[in-house]
Every structure is written in structure tokens, then in C-alpha cells.
């Protein structure tokens, strides 16, 4: 099992302000976390802090807390169906922080009580205030014994306008960067390039846009991907699917297999890890595979998978980069115009439903199979996105490029800029609209932030034929 930790950017700011003391001494606090269980990764999602009150801890160079603070924090975990996290700082610490003997004893001493009360392991976190690096570990009971040992996280993600990730140098070491990536890494430096290479990125839907996104990721230095698509390539997809051959279309090879083959060939940082599955995101196994990722690309065109991705973006703190293409025609069949868009659904940004990327009323219609009924589709207006499927490779190329650029801005943060908001490009006018707004006032998705499995389930099934584009 792989372990990781994630926290929303506003919470990280509040924790840093508390822990990075002006007098240079250590400090501590507790926080509540919720689990996010993927196929091979368990992530602790920090939900809110339980800061100390007067007299609940003693700062004297080192720092200690009294039992009533621990009991109050444990009670908060029980009241919110969460686990307990213990957080402390290492003043001026640089990089991933290990456990000192005192740190080890303090956390181990709480592990049994926390697991017994909450049913979830104690999660310990350390902040190195010198460079704002976070480290984390899960305290698990040894099988058949009453002792507890720390299982260290591979990474800790801070999710918001920018995706800032701390990596465990032992479990997620910096990769070797060769000449294949020399020009790319020179744009933003070897540290950012190493960070990109250690992210696990999911591409959901490997059709016209998804195949382009996957190729761009390989050549940008991403080396760990999850590719999900259950559909096969047909001749009518050939003109818009990158790296596909006519033989692939004749043999109706799975789109995900074509993308995986191309990714391995084009990858610029090695070793490469490609998990390519003929699955829909709306199947339970596909959903769990997606929860193993740090970033998800939504390259689907149906409402149900988009609604699942929208849920994941907020409840499970996995940024979802989404986009779309719309081509409109006149009555005589000539083109009226075209537009494509890209945006990121994540903490503090507008969700896919508020952006109008899917109609929630059509999610249940798709689940009931109506969207696979030709008569139902024919009953929709002619300009409805589910009917207007016209597209050309150049438009897919532009949309895929916008989506990849959204990811790079979020991770690289050049000149401190990491969020343009949603982007819409108009083909006829050549203009780009920017929408930096957040969700509508009554949108339910921001309230799901970092709840993980406590937020419920997005409604997947064991096996379902859903067209993800």
C-alpha cells in the first residue's frame, strides 16, 4: 500500500502561520483528517485544524501538550467521523523531515488510543519551516503485536490555486534527467522538472483530446500515468486520434492500448510507469484507479463521468483539468464558429457543474441508459452538445494544448502566477475569455472539500458501458 497526504491551500496557510513562530521555537497542533482509498493508495485528507487553547501546550524551545488538549482533539475527531493528525514544526528545517527519538516517542504514545477511538491510524506530519516542506506518516499496528510503526508517505500535496508537492526522497526519489529532456527542463529548472516527473497523472478518455494530452505529458517529462478508456478505435475516430494507425482501426484496438504504446515510446524521463485499463471511470474499479492520481485530465464528453470527476476534485482533493470543443453550423451546413475551453476544478475554483460542463439532470438519464438510445439523442436540440459531435484534429490539438498549459501553470507557478481561471478560445474572433470566478453561492461541491469517503459515493457501478469519448 502507498500512503500519501493532501491538504487544501487555505488550511496549509493557517497551519503555517501557527507553526512557523516568530521566536524560532517549535510548535504543535492537531487536525482532523478523512480517508481517500484508491486502488493502491490511501491518502489522508486534512480537513480542519484543532488549534491549541491557552494552557493546552507548553512552548519552551521544544514543545509539549497536556492531556486535555489531546482529549479535546480526539473528541473532535469522533464528532466529525474523522481521524486524528498530530502536527509539529522543525524551525528552519529544509526538505523532508525525519523523526527524532523524541518525535517518535510522542507519536507512538498516541497511536493506540487514536486507532482504538477512531478506527483510523494516527497521522503524523512535520513542517520544515525553512522551505515549507511537509512530511507525513501513518502509524500502523504491527500484525500480531501491540507495537505501532510509522509507514511513511510518498508525498504530501497542498491543493489550491497552485499544486505544491513535497516528496519523500527515499520512497519517491528525484529521477535522473537526461538529454532527452534538456530543453524542457531548462525552461523552469531541474527542481520543477523532477517534481513533474514524480506526479502521478491520470487521463480519463483517450479519444481525440485525450490521445494528444497523453503524448504531451510523455514529452513534457511525466513518467507515471493512469490511462482509462473502455472504448475501441474505429475508422470514424482515425482522423482525430493521435498515434493511431489504420490497422489499429481495422482491428478495433482499445484506445487505451494505443495511448499506452505511444506513451512508452515517447516518454522523455525513465523509468516509465503506465497503468492502462479498459475501464470506465463510472465503474467502481475505474473510480478507485483515479483516486491513486495527483492530477486528473477529464477528456470525456458525457455528463456522468464529468459528475464523478467533479466530486473527486473537491471531496478527494485531486485537481481535475477539463475542457471541451463546440462547433456550430449554419442551416446550410457551413461553419458558423467553433470554440474550445480549458479549466481546472479544484479548491477555490469554479466547479464543472457551475461552469456548465455538464447538465446534472442528464446524469441520471445516462445512468438509466437513455443516452445510448438513438431516439432519445434525436429528441435533443440540434445544437445540444450530445448531438453536435463535429470536430477536427486541429481543434482537438488546441484544446489539448490549453489543458496541458493549465496543468503547467498550476505546477510551475511562473512569476507567482498559477491561476488564470477558466479559458475559452473563440476560433472566429481569435479572442480568449478568462473567467476567474468561484462557484455559485448555493453550489454544494465546495462543502465537500477534503471529506473523502465521509462525503459519500459518487454513484459508480461494477460494470457499465458509458461512452467517455
> Which numeric CATH code is attached to 179-455?
3.40.50.720
Asked if 292 and 206 count as a contact pair (C-beta separation under 8 A), the reply is no
Cα separation, 100 vs 147, in Å, equals 18
Is there a cis peptide before residue 134, judged by omega within 30 degrees of 0? no
DSSP string, 251-304: TT-BHHHHHHHHHHHH-SSSS-EEEEE---TTBHHHHHHHTT-SEEEE---SHH
Alpha carbon 94 to its chain's center: 26
Predicted pLDDT at 386: 65
Tell me which residue of 189, 138, 140, 137 sits closest to 166, measured CA to CA.
137
Half-sphere exposure of 282 (CA within 13 A, CB side): 22
Predicted pLDDT at 329: 87
**Residues of the chain above pLDDT 90, percent:** 88
Q: Which three cell numbers stand for residue 108?
A: 507512538
Structure confidence by residue, pLDDT tens digits, 37-88: 999 999 999 999 999 999 999 998 789 999 999 999 999 999 999 999 999 9
Answer CATH for 2-167 from 3.20.20.80, 3.40.140.10, 1.10.10.10, 3.90.550.10: 3.40.140.10
Please list the helix, strand and coil fractions of the chain in percent, rounded to the nearest 5, in that order.
35, 25, 40
Domain boundaries in the chain? 2-167, 179-455
pLDDT band at 463 (very low <50, low <70, confident <90, very high): very low
Cα separation, 434 vs 419, in Å, equals 10
Higher per-residue confidence, 459 vs 379: 459
Predicted pLDDT at 385: 64
Please determine, for residue 379, whether its predicted confidence score (pLDDT) is greater than 60: yes
Structure confidence by residue, pLDDT tens digits, 74-110: 999 999 999 999 999 999 999 999 999 999 999 999 9
Cα separation, 44 vs 32, in Å, equals 9
Supply the mean pLDDT for the chain: 94
**Residues of the chain above pLDDT 70, percent:** 94
Q: Which three cell numbers stand for residue 423?
A: 479559458
Higher per-residue confidence, 366 vs 462: 366
Q: Which three cell numbers stand for residue 130?
A: 525553512
Structure confidence by residue, pLDDT tens digits, 421-462: 999 999 999 999 999 999 999 999 999 999 999 999 888 765
Predicted pLDDT at 467: 45
Tell me which residue of 356, 336, 326, 361 sits closest to 422, measured CA to CA.
356
Neighbours of 456 (CB within 10 A): 10
Predicted pLDDT at 144: 73
pLDDT band at 116 (very low <50, low <70, confident <90, very high): very high
Mean pLDDT, rounded, for 284-312:
97
Structure confidence by residue, pLDDT tens digits, 120-179: 999 999 999 999 999 999 999 998 778 999 999 999 999 999 999 999 999 999 999 999
pLDDT band at 377 (very low <50, low <70, confident <90, very high): low
Predicted pLDDT at 61: 79
Predicted pLDDT at 383: 63
What torsion do the CA atoms of 87, 88, 93, 99 make, to the nearest 10 degrees? -80
Please determine, for residue 380, whether its predicted confidence score (pLDDT) is greater than 90: no
Predicted pLDDT at 468: 47
Predicted pLDDT at 391: 81
Higher per-residue confidence, 381 vs 327: 327
Please determine, for residue 464, whether its predicted confidence score (pLDDT) is greater than 60: no
Higher per-residue confidence, 464 vs 301: 301
Structure confidence by residue, pLDDT tens digits, 168-222: 999 999 999 999 999 999 999 999 999 999 999 999 999 999 999 999 999 999 9
Amino acid at each position: 500500500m502507498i500512503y500519501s497526504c493532501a491538504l487544501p491551500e487555505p488550511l496549509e496557510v493557517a497551519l503555517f502561520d501557527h507553526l512557523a513562530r516568530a521566536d524560532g521555537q517549535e510548535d504543535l497542533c492537531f487536525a482532523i483528517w478523512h480517508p481517500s482509498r484508491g486502488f493502491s493508495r490511501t491518502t489522508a485528507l486534512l480537513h480542519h485544524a484543532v488549534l491549541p487553547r491557552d494552557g493546552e501546550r507548553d512552548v519552551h524551545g521544544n514543545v509539549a501538550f497536556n492531556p486535555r488538549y489531546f482529549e479535546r482533539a480526539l473528541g473532535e475527531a469522533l464528532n466529525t467521523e474523522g481521524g486524528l493528525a498530530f502536527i509539529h514544526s522543525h524551525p528552519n528545517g529544509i526538505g523532508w523531515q525525519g523523526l527524532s527519538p523524541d518525535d517518535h516517542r510522542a507519536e507512538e504514545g498516541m497511536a493506540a488510543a487514536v486507532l482504538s477511538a477512531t478506527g483510523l491510524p494516527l497521522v503524523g506530519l512535520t513542517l520544515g519551516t525553512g522551505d515549507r516542506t511537509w512530511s507525513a506518516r501513518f502509524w500502523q499496528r504491527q500484525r500480531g503485536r501491540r507495537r505501532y510503526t510509522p509507514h511513511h508517505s510518498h508525498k504530501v500535496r497542498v491543493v489550491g490555486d497552485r499544486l505544491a508537492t513535497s516528496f519523500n526522497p527515499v520512497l519517491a526519489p528525484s529521477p535522473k534527467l537526461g538529454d532527452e529532456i534538456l530543453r524542457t527542463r531548462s525552461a523552469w529548472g531541474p527542481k520543477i522538472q523532477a517534481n513533474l516527473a514524480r506526479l502521478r497523472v491520470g487521463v480519463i478518455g483517450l479519444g481525440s483530446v485525450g490521445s494528444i494530452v497523453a503524448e504531451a505529458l510523455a514529452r513534457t517529462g511525466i513518467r507515471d500515468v493512469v490511462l482509462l478508456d473502455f472504448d475501441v478505435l474505429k475508422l470514424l475516430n482515425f482522423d482525430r486520434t493521435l498515434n493511431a494507425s489504420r490497422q489499429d482501426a481495422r482491428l478495433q484496438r482499445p484506445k487505451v492500448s494505443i495511448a499506452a504504446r505511444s506513451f512508452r515510446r515517447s516518454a522523455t524521463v525513465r523509468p516509465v510507469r503506465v497503468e492502462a485499463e479498459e475501464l470506465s471511470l463510472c465503474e467502481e474499479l475505474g473510480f478507485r484507479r483515479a483516486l491513486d492520481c495527483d492530477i486528473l485530465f477529464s477528456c470525456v464528453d458525457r455528463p456522468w463521468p464529468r459528475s464523478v470527476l467533479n466530486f473527486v476534485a473537491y471531496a478527494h482533493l485531486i485537481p481535475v483539468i477539463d475542457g471541451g470543443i463546440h462547433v456550430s453550423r449554419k442551416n446550410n451546413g457551413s461553419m458558423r464558429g467553433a470554440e474550445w475551453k480549458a479549466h481546472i476544478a479544484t479548491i477555490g475554483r469554479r466547479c464543472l457543474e457551475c461552469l456548465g460542463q455538464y447538465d446534472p439532470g442528464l446524469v441520471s438519464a445516462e445512468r438509466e441508459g437513455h443516452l445510448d438510445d438513438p431516439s432519445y439523442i434525436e429528441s435533443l436540440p440540434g445544437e445540444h452538445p450530445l448531438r453536435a459531435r463535429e470536430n477536427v484534429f486541429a481543434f482537438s490539438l488546441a484544446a489539448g494544448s490549453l489543458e496541458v498549459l493549465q496543468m503547467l501553470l498550476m505546477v510551475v507557478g511562473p512569476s507567482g502566477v498559477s491561476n488564470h481561471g477558466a479559458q475559452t478560445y473563440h476560433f472566429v474572433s481569435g479572442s480568449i475569455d478568462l473567467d476567474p470566478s468561484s462557484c455559485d453561492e448555493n453550489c454544494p461541491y465546495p462543502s465537500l472539500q477534503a471529506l473523502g469517503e465521509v462525503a459519500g459515493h459518487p454513484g459508480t457501478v461494477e460494470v457499465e458501458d458509458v461512452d467517455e469519448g
